[in-house]
Structure 1
């Protein structure tokens, strides 16, 4: 067997089959390119679901991590450390908020947002104990913990994991009327992705997010924006909400916040919301650790230049222009997205999303499928226009058969 085949066989034998990865075994990576154990190079057009917005092995981020590794990596929140205050202050400033509650993974941050909204509902809004309701959207993806899959409509993610956590109301994404009708006096929050990633990079109708913002203000309900995939430059703005001039009550962040180096996530909100917590009520051993803060501080500094947002906007316009030319030719049914982020619906007659991804892999381009014949394109924001065009040419080649 080849080195690749040996590695995959070992994985199949000793790893739980909770993923179905493409048959490529990555050994090294740099920028927008990855190299497998056989020495073959692949263009990364997924970027770790936006965790690698700044590319593989970004020198600034690696240097920040190395410097911190020589100093201190973990204290736990039992003590203060010298990177924590700056991290919280700089991230709050980037978000236009006041307080930060750091965690590690995106799912942890979503769980934290849920707990925050419920506690705020009981202590501030006056909802009767145990009666808090949170409204979410159908086809959402916020993670895979037991609470989060309780309000998923994805059968694959949800089935056989009950009993499910109560307290959630599911409404169609993009439907303001349904959202309004679902609200009651016990509603404490609306939790939404400004763009639904796992669902196929679904952009809501124009005016939807401002409508959600207006409605939540009217009803004294928190608007929680899950920007774990859509945030931190991916769409051409720091946050996807900015495209519609919307500022939520709470941002949920992750993925790119760790720069593709360490897992970092956070809930960012006002003092009136996050100020409800008292010592012992919520926490994480690794949340806000020195290494995570050092890397995230460098991510924040890079975002403050606006360089990556502008790059995503300009290259994203080119990406969508080129993808749009494929629609209507019998191969591509629709293209959606913003910035360097696109969902491409392939004609099912040309193959499933998995099959298209495998054919692209054979041409040294890596993407990921979702929901039947849809593929997602989300390259690192550092990708060159030449490499992006080469990747698009490989897609055209696959579609030509």
Structure 2
């Protein structure tokens, strides 16, 4: 990675307990003004952020191992992104691409055609959120195939809208009491090496799912299979080798659209531009968001031209989709990722973190698994000597890390996974400090 200069000192520094008095005051104001259904992982309020640090309103400098859930991969205030946003805002903030189009939307589509896997002819549509991208990918698949059924998987997370809640596996907090959900969604077993029966290969796990699809739906009734190449909210589950290629091969043989949901795994996060590349998977449609635009709301679907062009004019779009400021940010983000070779940096981060965490796992029986790819790393916590999930321990570790100024996120179907998603521009010293704090938190919580 090229040498970076940071606007803020890249150091962990605590000047108050957490939360500090100003964050505590904001928390009280929030409770009187913001709906209780909106949760936050930590009770501190941000005032500034740069590189791998977030500075809160009380002046505490915290190490950020969440990156806004894999969004601020280039940092939360990358100079190129900030300049691009400022310059675009000075010209126009919105015209609506469906009314008066503009070049930056076209340039983003061209970039995505070049970056996403496969050398086939592609088309792109831009939206605002990952859930919106997923909804539209399913729309395209259903129209193009004339079929209705959509196959999703155990542990999946695809969003919070009605259709994407149906696709999402975990009930609480995402689905409970929000139904009824969109029909014609079928859930199949995922490859989960830590929890699968011993010796089950990726190909065997895929065949298990395919057999259920053929029995429950029939291949000729399936419009699409949608799958995260590495599952995110479900626990950073990396399927066994062969699982994805077997599913893709079967889908292609049966005229089924394979949708890769790379909302969380995309844009250098896993050590490649997209996680599909690691097993040479070429999806028919790929959904993107999060890391695409340096923190501005933007998402996209890119797919085979014959699929996206099958939709009638006006069938895809949205008032804010591909907003010009977000497009400017996306172009700047991609330029920064190329210049700094952030896929390579993600691999370095992953090697550093997994080496240390696996060494710790050899000493701490409560660590059931350390897994991930690139800078998308998970620690699964269990009751020692078993595979029983330990969600309480997971929460305790995250809380102890925060006490010392390190923000880590939790996830997993069972709430028992610590996930690490640091900004890809985090420097080595800061990463080392964060891992030391996390190791100390795990030791303290399991003592």
Normalized against structure 1, the TM-score is what? Answer: 0.94
Q: Which residue of the partner structure matches residue 13 of structure 1?
A: 32
Task: Report the Cα distance in structure 1 between the residues aligned to 2:222 and 2:143, rounded to whole angstroms.
Answer: 12
Q: Which residue of the partner structure matches residue 163 of structure 2?
A: 147
Q: Which string of whole-angstrom CA distances, capped at 9 and with x for unpartnered residues, describes residues 329-384 of structure 1?
A: 23422111100111112345784322211110111000111233321111000011
Task: Report the Cα distance in structure 1 between the residues aligned to 2:292 and 2:417, rounded to whole angstroms.
Answer: 27
Task: Report the Cα distance in structure 2 between the residues aligned to 1:67 and 1:57, rounded to whole angstroms.
Answer: 15
Helix, strand or coil at the partner of 1:335: strand
Task: Report the Cα distance in structure 2 between the residues aligned to 1:92 and 1:67, rounded to whole angstroms.
Answer: 25
Task: Report the Cα distance in structure 1 between the residues aligned to 2:167 and 2:114, rounded to whole angstroms.
Answer: 31
CA contact (8 A) 1:139 1:152 kept: yes
Helix, strand or coil at the partner of 2:360: coil
CA contact (8 A) 2:158 2:167 kept: no
Q: Which string of whole-angstrom CA distances, capped at 9 and with x for unpartnered residues, describes residues 47-106 of structure 1?
A: 111111111101111111111111111111211113222121122111145210100111
CA contact (8 A) 1:251 1:267 kept: yes
Q: Tell me, which stretches of 5 or more residues in structure 1 are unaligned?
A: none
Q: Point out the more displaced range, 158-167 or 108-117.
A: 158-167
Task: Report the Cα distance in structure 1 between the residues aligned to 2:383 and 2:84, rounded to whole angstroms.
Answer: 45
From the superposition, tell whether residues 367 and 65 of structure 1 become closer, same or farther in structure 2 (CA, over 3 Å): same
Choose the corresponding residue for 2:319, options 285, 288, 293.
285
Paired residues for 1:142-181 under 5 Å: 142-156=158-172, 157-174=174-191, 175-181=205-211
Q: Which residue of the partner structure matches residue 199 of structure 1?
A: 234
CA contact (8 A) 1:94 1:304 kept: no
Q: Point out the more displaced range, 391-400 or 329-338.
A: 329-338
Q: Which residue of the partner structure matches residue 389 of structure 1?
A: 432
Q: Which residue of the partner structure matches residue 125 of structure 2?
A: 101
Q: Tell me, which stretches of 5 or more residues in structure 2 are unaligned?
A: 1-19, 192-204, 385-389
Q: Displacement of 1:179 after TM fit?
A: 2.7
Task: Report the Cα distance in structure 1 between the residues aligned to 2:338 and 2:250, rounded to whole angstroms.
Answer: 31
CA contact (8 A) 1:91 1:300 kept: no
From the superposition, tell whether residues 94 and 186 of structure 1 become closer, same or farther in structure 2 (CA, over 3 Å): same
Choose the corresponding residue for 2:80, options 60, 78, 82.
60
Q: Which residue of the partner structure matches residue 311 of structure 1?
A: 345
CA contact (8 A) 1:53 1:381 kept: yes
Q: Which string of whole-angstrom CA distances, capped at 9 and with x for unpartnered residues, describes residues 154-205 of structure 1?
A: 1211121111111111001123123322042111111000000111110000
Helix, strand or coil at the partner of 1:248: coil
Task: Report the Cα distance in structure 2 between the residues aligned to 1:348 and 1:17, rounded to whole angstroms.
Answer: 32
Task: Report the Cα distance in structure 2 between the residues aligned to 1:348 and 1:70, rounded to whole angstroms.
Answer: 56
Q: Which residue of the partner structure matches residue 220 of structure 1?
A: 255
Q: Displacement of 1:13 after TM fit?
A: 2.1
Q: Which residue of the partner structure matches residue 82 of structure 1?
A: 103
CA contact (8 A) 1:354 1:368 kept: no
Q: Displacement of 1:305 after TM fit?
A: 4.5
Paired residues for 1:2-41 under 5 Å: 2-18=21-37, 19-41=39-61
Paired residues for 1:94-133 under 5 Å: 94-95=115-116, 96=118, 98-122=122-146, 127=147, 132-133=148-149
Helix, strand or coil at the partner of 2:103: coil
Task: Report the Cα distance in structure 2 between the residues aligned to 1:87 and 1:293, rounded to whole angstroms.
Answer: 7
Q: Which string of whole-angstrom CA distances, capped at 9 and with x for unpartnered residues, describes residues 100-158 of structure 1?
A: 01001111001111111111111xxxx4xxxx111111110010111111232212111
* Runs of 4+, deviation exceeding 6 Å: none
Q: Displacement of 1:211 after TM fit?
A: 0.9
Q: Displacement of 1:270 after TM fit?
A: 1.5
Task: Report the Cα distance in structure 2 between the residues aligned to 1:305 and 1:98, rounded to whole angstroms.
Answer: 25
CA contact (8 A) 2:41 2:409 kept: no
Q: Displacement of 1:253 after TM fit?
A: 0.2
* In the alignment, structure 1 residue 134 sits paired with structure 2 residue 169: no
Number of residue pairs aligned between Structure 1 and Structure 2:
392
